Structure 1
Amino acid sequence: MAGKLTAAQGTGILLVTANVGSLFEDPENLQKTWLREFYQTIQTHKPHFFALHCQEVGGKNYEASMSHVDSFVKELLSSDVMKEYNRARVYLDENYKSQEHFTALGSFYFIHESLKNIQQFDFKAKKFKKVVGKETYSETLESTPSLEKEKFPQDYFPECKWSRKGFIRTRWALADCAFDLVNIHLFHDASNLIAWEKSPSVYSGTRQKALGYVLDRITDQRHERLPYFVFGDFNFRLDSKQVIESLCSTATLQTVRAADTNEVDKLIFRESDNDRKVVLQLEKKLFNYVNQDVFRENNGSPLLEYDKELSVYKDRLHELEISFPPSYPYSEDSSQGKQYMNTRCPAWCDRILLSASARDLVLKPENEEKSGVYDNIGPNVCMGDHKPVFLSFRITAGAGKCCQRGEKIFREAPL
């Protein structure tokens, strides 16, 4: 499928991030559609190496969904579409009984038979090793030497006692280039009402702290510093206060308080005239806006000005231009492929972010328009509450020379 490698063609890389929690709530309907669209993406881009980073593997009720997880993994490993990928590494955090470690992350890596020179880093031995065969690791990933895994400290998000948020890092070397791939899941907005109180919201501060923690860990002195790709469910949200003030600029606000606690229970924004029509109703887990089209038209691009959480890291993290609608929260009704749920303000939660040196691998100055495809998967069908997001690009021969820090590794571990 991916064809023979030539120096001119380069090595095709496909990175995909997918919050798959919904797939295990309704495996009969959603999983078949999801896999069909995912396979279509593989067939379209024909990567030599691809990475699938999943979050919420097993869904909300992990114990009951374990058998569904196993069948999902078996399907990925044995599908006809994947038969030319003769090497694979699958890392599943399945140890749900360990609350201090469990992240529900799943990282899948597939290597095409035509790709000869690929190695994976052993973090314990501190050297690259050849990748042979297909292997699946689960249960105690903490002791698996081919990855680093951490769950965020409990005090980062104290109101969510059993939060599963954390990250998994792997390191790869192919052609003359080495890089880190980081699967990440950051904290969500627990309440729309709290998110709206100030700009930026308290939740964005929590995500900022956790992301900073990850970036510091993957660039510390323990290992050679390399280009890195961080992709997962960042849970980035639009600035609630600003976006609501924009959407409801001509509306009047009615505040409804709970009778027993006198706490704000509901906010209702009404047109001043027009029979006082309700424009937006906001509750802890309700975001019911009168016109969902604003999130879909022009891929929601006018709303990107309120997508600000990444700006804090503009010197450390880069992203290709977003040209797809907000990736969350889509309806989980299998007949509603483009409809958003009225639970949260739609936002670009699922992202693929690059360090400066990783961006240099993707963006080739002489060929900007063909330097990478950044898009979502399954735009017209139900993929669960998150649309997967992918980045497809090619690493050309000699690209590793832009990663000068990485050259030392190749002298130590020639391919």
Structure 2
Amino acid sequence: MAGKLTAAQGTGILLVTANVGSLFEDPDNLQKTWLREFYQTVQTHKPHFLAVHCQEVGGKNYEASMSHVDSFVKELLSSDAMKEYNRARVYLDENYKSQEHFTALGSFYFIHDSLKNVHQFDFKAKKFKKVVGKETYSETLEGTPSLEKEKFPQDYFPECKWSRKGFIRTRWALADCAFDLVNIHLFHDASNLVAWEKSPSVYSGTRQKALGYVLDRITDQRHEKLPYFVFGDFNFRLDSKQVIESLCSTATLQTVRAADTNEVDKLIFRESDNDRKVVLQLEKKLFNYVNQDVFRENNGTSLLEYDKELSVFKDRLHELEISFPPSYPYSEDSSQGKQYMNTRCPAWCDRILLSPSARDLALKPENEEKSIVYDNIGPNVCMGDHKPVFLSFRITAGAGKCCQRGEKIFREAPL
């Protein structure tokens, strides 16, 4: 698969983020397709180092899905497609009985047999250790020294008692440089009606607070500061108020209230003429817009102007240009690969973000532009309600301006 490394060729890195909740609701239909498309992506990009960050591992009913999780992990570790990856680390947060700790995050790391001297950081011992063999860590990850895991405090998102949102951080050293990889799952929009009330929405403020917390944690004084890649389900949404006003600019609004509480139950946007045809119907969990093509034409990029949640972090996080359609919420019907569900306004929830120094690693001037790809997986088939998103790039030798001294810390030189 991946050829022998040469200095000129560099080290191929593939980062993937995938909310896999749907796979455990309907494993017979969805898992085979998902794995086929995933292996195809690995085959195409031939990475030497592969990191897969999953959210919602086990789906909504973790207890019932445990056996499906085990078979999914076994398949990934033993499949023919991955046979040249002779080292692996798998971290599964399976501690679903602990409300205060459970995040349902899963982080998978695979190292090709041609890549020598890969080290992983031990956060307790505060030093790098050589990675050998394949190891899986599950259940209680709190005591695992090769990662840091936190669930967001309950008061960050009080309306959701069972929130599983949080992050897992690991630290790696390869090809003369070291970096952090952070698996993240931020808060969703609980109600379309609330999201529409103001711009930016209350939910966007909650996500901003949580992401700021993560960035502060991974750059605090406890450890050496290194380049970092944060990838996961950020749950970033388009600015609801603005996007609806744009989609329904000529429509008239009818408000339907619940008889018993007088609270707004439903918003109906109708065309002023044309038999007062319904353009959009909005409820707590319904976003039924008359023309889904707007989210698919030119990959929906005309709507990127309403994708604003990252702008607050523009000095701390960088993203490559998005040229794929909104990654959520796709139909979970296995025959509907390109259809969106009419539950939420489609949005780019699944992202791969880079710190300024990580961007410098991935976007070295000597790298050909075509060697960097930011895209989704399985565009034409059903992958569940989220399409996985990947970033493929190469690190050229010495790119990180880091040095290795045995198992001591790799230091990043000042940029």
TM score, norm. by length of structure 2? 0.97
Partners of 1:260 and 1:14 lie apart in 2 by 53
In the alignment, structure 2 segments of 5+ residues that lack a partner are none
Partners of 2:231 and 2:95 lie apart in 1 by 22
1:406 CA drift (Å): 14
Instruction: Report if the CA contact (8 A) 1:360-1:402 is conserved.
Output: no
Task: Report how many aligned residue pairs link the two structures.
Answer: 415
Deviation digits for residues 168-220 of structure 1 (CA, Å, limit 9, x no counterpart): 00000001100000000000000000000000000000000000000000000
Partners of 1:411 and 1:101 lie apart in 2 by 32
Partners of 1:237 and 1:216 lie apart in 2 by 23
Partners of 1:64 and 1:407 lie apart in 2 by 42
Partners of 2:408 and 2:143 lie apart in 1 by 27
Q: Name the structure where helix makes up a greater proportion of residues.
A: 1
1:370 CA drift (Å): 2.7
Instruction: Report if the CA contact (8 A) 1:226-1:406 is conserved.
Output: no
- Aligned position for 1:161: 161
Q: Percent identity?
A: 96
Deviation digits for residues 87-106 of structure 1 (CA, Å, limit 9, x no counterpart): 00000000000000000000
Partners of 1:168 and 1:259 lie apart in 2 by 45
Partners of 1:78 and 1:293 lie apart in 2 by 40
| Aligned ranges 1:214-225 → 2 under 5 Å | 214-225=214-225
Partners of 2:99 and 2:3 lie apart in 1 by 44
SS at match of 2:107: strand
Partners of 1:314 and 1:414 lie apart in 2 by 21
Instruction: Report if the CA contact (8 A) 2:62-2:96 is conserved.
Output: yes
RMSD: 2.4
The 1:414/1:251 distance shift into structure 2, 3 A limit, reads: closer
1:355 aligns with 2:355: yes
Deviation digits for residues 105-162 of structure 1 (CA, Å, limit 9, x no counterpart): 0000000000011000000000000001000001110000000000000000000011
1:260 CA drift (Å): 0.3
Instruction: Report if the CA contact (8 A) 1:326-1:348 is conserved.
Output: yes
Instruction: Report if the CA contact (8 A) 2:403-2:410 is conserved.
Output: no
Q: Which deviates more from structure 2 when the two are superposed, residues 220-229 or residues 359-368?
A: 359-368
- Aligned position for 2:184: 184
The 1:257/1:295 distance shift into structure 2, 3 A limit, reads: same
1:281 CA drift (Å): 0.1
Partners of 2:414 and 2:371 lie apart in 1 by 28
SS at match of 2:41: helix
The 1:387/1:64 distance shift into structure 2, 3 A limit, reads: same
1:252 CA drift (Å): 0.2
Instruction: Report if the CA contact (8 A) 1:127-1:413 is conserved.
Output: no
Partners of 1:207 and 1:406 lie apart in 2 by 40
Instruction: Report if the CA contact (8 A) 1:121-1:172 is conserved.
Output: yes
Deviation digits for residues 246-268 of structure 1 (CA, Å, limit 9, x no counterpart): 00000000000000000000000
Instruction: Report if the CA contact (8 A) 1:361-1:402 is conserved.
Output: no
- Aligned position for 2:97: 97
Deviation digits for residues 218-272 of structure 1 (CA, Å, limit 9, x no counterpart): 0000000000000000000000000000000000000000000000000000000
1:366 CA drift (Å): 4.3
1:408 CA drift (Å): 8.7
1:365 CA drift (Å): 2.5
Instruction: Report if the CA contact (8 A) 2:270-2:278 is conserved.
Output: yes
Deviation digits for residues 30-68 of structure 1 (CA, Å, limit 9, x no counterpart): 000000000000000000000000000000000000000
The 1:2/1:123 distance shift into structure 2, 3 A limit, reads: same
Partners of 1:270 and 1:405 lie apart in 2 by 67
1:404 CA drift (Å): 13
Partners of 2:313 and 2:401 lie apart in 1 by 25
Deviation digits for residues 266-300 of structure 1 (CA, Å, limit 9, x no counterpart): 00000000000000000000000000000000000
1:320 CA drift (Å): 0.3
The 1:197/1:412 distance shift into structure 2, 3 A limit, reads: closer
1:400 CA drift (Å): 1.0
The 1:242/1:404 distance shift into structure 2, 3 A limit, reads: farther
1:409 CA drift (Å): 2.8
Instruction: Report if the CA contact (8 A) 1:180-1:229 is conserved.
Output: yes
Partners of 1:386 and 1:411 lie apart in 2 by 37
Deviation digits for residues 349-404 of structure 1 (CA, Å, limit 9, x no counterpart): 00000000000011123446235100000000000000000000000011011899
SS at match of 1:144: coil
Partners of 1:414 and 1:255 lie apart in 2 by 57
Instruction: Report if the CA contact (8 A) 1:177-1:406 is conserved.
Output: no
- Aligned position for 2:88: 88
Partners of 2:267 and 2:275 lie apart in 1 by 18
Partners of 2:273 and 2:405 lie apart in 1 by 63
| Aligned ranges 1:397-408 → 2 under 5 Å | 397-401=397-401
Instruction: Report if the CA contact (8 A) 1:92-1:138 is conserved.
Output: yes
The 1:408/1:309 distance shift into structure 2, 3 A limit, reads: farther
Instruction: Report if the CA contact (8 A) 2:224-2:411 is conserved.
Output: no
Instruction: Report if the CA contact (8 A) 2:127-2:407 is conserved.
Output: no
Partners of 2:336 and 2:221 lie apart in 1 by 48
- Aligned position for 2:130: 130
Partners of 1:187 and 1:411 lie apart in 2 by 34
SS at match of 2:85: coil
TM score, norm. by length of structure 1? 0.97
In the alignment, structure 1 segments of 5+ residues that lack a partner are none
